[in-house]
Structure 1
Amino acid sequence: MTVIGAVRSIVLECRDPEPLAVFWSQVLGHEIAQRDDDWWALERPTGGPRLAFQVVEDFAPPPWPGRTGEQQIHLDVEVDDLDRGTEEVVRLGARILSDVVDEDGDPWRVFADPAGHPFCLVSFA
């Protein structure tokens, strides 16, 4: 198989990248590596793709729940304890959107980050 490239960044659009970068830095423990007026980026201390935040003036968060195709992308974050993870992300500014149990019986909780992007916490413990 021919490799054309590698994922450099996963980019979330937003109106204001600073508070979103701070939120996700605290949730994931990633370092803020780049700060500009319209672009902030986090890097994992262990490497891998960056999580970045780009200004879009007319940004509107995706609806939840939405029709197929409206959400487009979300992050799944694995935690050791779903209830403790919930307390922490809510303290940092997330809001709970719904609880889900998948077909294997694993509980998931869906949140919106401070800009309204959906993300999930899941614990397989």
Structure 2
Amino acid sequence: MDVPPPSRTATVHGMDDYPRLLHTVLDTPEVRRLAEFYRQLLGLQYRPGDEPPAEGNDDADWLVLTDAQGDRTLAFQEVDRLERTTWPRPDVPMQMHLDLTVPDRDALETQHRRALDLGAELLLDRTDDPDEPLYVYADPAGHPFCIFVA
């Protein structure tokens, strides 16, 4: 006797049962500048066709960065104005932030220096926390992000 295959509703949910996160999009008045900041900070690459022009005017209003496998990670869209967070003051909340991890305190200090050299602004130093040492920064457009020891 042939047994029919199990119905989709009777199986454990698969990846096709839910939307998939494609990338996180950050608003910015300077698309290339912010994309370049995260490209260098995270070791990402431009999606084919989004690379900086060899010469001439760079009028990009939307750019995408990918990881080494070509999977999209971050995108950047142009806005006329962006109000920077005032965190930790509550006037303008974070609304969202990126969490980036490193394996140990030495790597944390290395990435701290890199982030500052690339143009990040330090918002909070919590490296004295024995359980989860971290730094909180604002990127060049004002979006907050953390680097911490996982």
**TM tier, shorter chain?**
0.7 to 0.9
SS at match of 1:98: strand
SS at match of 2:17: coil
Structure 2 residue runs without a partner (length 5+): 1-12, 51-58
Contact 1:99–1:108 at 8 Å: present in 2 too? yes
Shift of 1:114: 0.8
Distance 2:127 2:141 in 1: 25
Distance 2:85 2:92 in 1: 10
**In the comparison of the two structures, how many residue pairs are matched?**
124
Distance 2:18 2:87 in 1: 34
Distance 2:144 2:94 in 1: 8
Opposite residue 27 of structure 2, the aligned amino acid is: E
**Greater strand proportion:** 1
Q: TM-score, normalised by structure 2?
A: 0.72
Distance 1:58 1:92 in 2: 22
Structure 1 residue runs without a partner (length 5+): none
SS at match of 1:122: strand
Q: Which residue number in structure 1 is paired with residue 45 of structure 2?
A: 31
- Structure number with larger C-alpha Rg: 2
Q: Which residue number in structure 2 is paired with residue 83 of structure 1?
A: 109
- The answer to whether structure 1 residue 21 and structure 2 residue 35 are counterparts is yes
Q: Which residue number in structure 2 is paired with residue 45 of structure 1?
A: 68
Q: TM-score, normalised by structure 1?
A: 0.85
Q: Percentage identity across aligned positions?
A: 35
Distance 1:4 1:79 in 2: 30
Opposite residue 58 of structure 1, the aligned amino acid is: R
Distance 1:60 1:97 in 2: 16
**TM-align CA RMSD:** 2.4
Distance 2:70 2:124 in 1: 31
